[in-house]
Structure 1
């Protein structure tokens, strides 16, 4: 039986896919990687919090040169998800200045990034335009 696994530790798959951040209990700063201390206040206590699945593009770039095997062009963006800044690719959108803009409303989306010989699929996330 094949299965799907998340490409990153902070991606939750299942019926309601979403991201989970580590939130500083002291100041509320959010991080996706493991932390020993908060970069904002040096607090050392964190809690897991769900990140909103809808957001707004705050900045983006169209990538036209990448490592071998990476299809270009693609859009890399910073998305504000209810106050949490998420860096991700925009998917299911043309990688052109006419198709993407700052302030664009987007929603969380999943994308397969490959399947191994045993049938295990790696799943990553991105954001797509809200329609």
Structure 2
């Protein structure tokens, strides 16, 4: 396997890729970015929490304008993760007519680019889970 790095610090690449959040040890609020203090309660102690790779689609929109190297249209989504946490990511390989809030989704990683040393930059999105 090629050398891989995640495109964001909160994506964990292992045998079961998942997202990791900073969790306030006082009020359990979750944050993807590093914090000096909790935005909810003001405390300063955090622990790491592995988040579920599944969830439900809360909201979405179809995007038609982007930078020159970004293929449009694409679906930008907000996902409520099972067990807690909310993340914004793209919905992958989905037809607009098949999408509705409440659909079960699953995290999926993909290679977003490769550098001159053949290191793969790995990104994530969500795909609609097959419920049949």
* TM-score where L is the length of structure 2: 0.94
Report the CA distance between 1:92 and its aligned residue. Answer: 2.0
Report the CA distance between 1:110 and its aligned residue. Answer: 0.4
Question: Aligned pair count?
Answer: 129
- Structure 2 Cα separation of the partners of residues 42 and 68 of structure 1: 41
Equivalent residue for 2:27?
27
Unpaired runs of at least 5, structure 1 = none
- Structure 2 Cα separation of the partners of residues 44 and 19 of structure 1: 21
Q: Is 1:78–1:86's contact at 8 Å kept on the other side of the alignment?
A: yes
- Structure 2 Cα separation of the partners of residues 2 and 52 of structure 1: 25
Equivalent residue for 2:86?
85
Q: After the TM superposition, which segments of 4 or more aligned residues of structure 1 sit over 4 Å from their partners?
A: none
* TM-score where L is the length of structure 1: 0.94
2:129 matches 1:107: no
RMSD: 1.1
Write out per-residue CA displacement over residues 75-129 of structure 1, whole angstroms, 9 at most, x where no aligned residue: 11110002211111111212x2x12111111001001100011111000111001
- Structure 1 Cα separation of the partners of residues 76 and 27 of structure 2: 28
Unpaired runs of at least 5, structure 2 = none
Report the CA distance between 1:26 and its aligned residue. Answer: 0.7
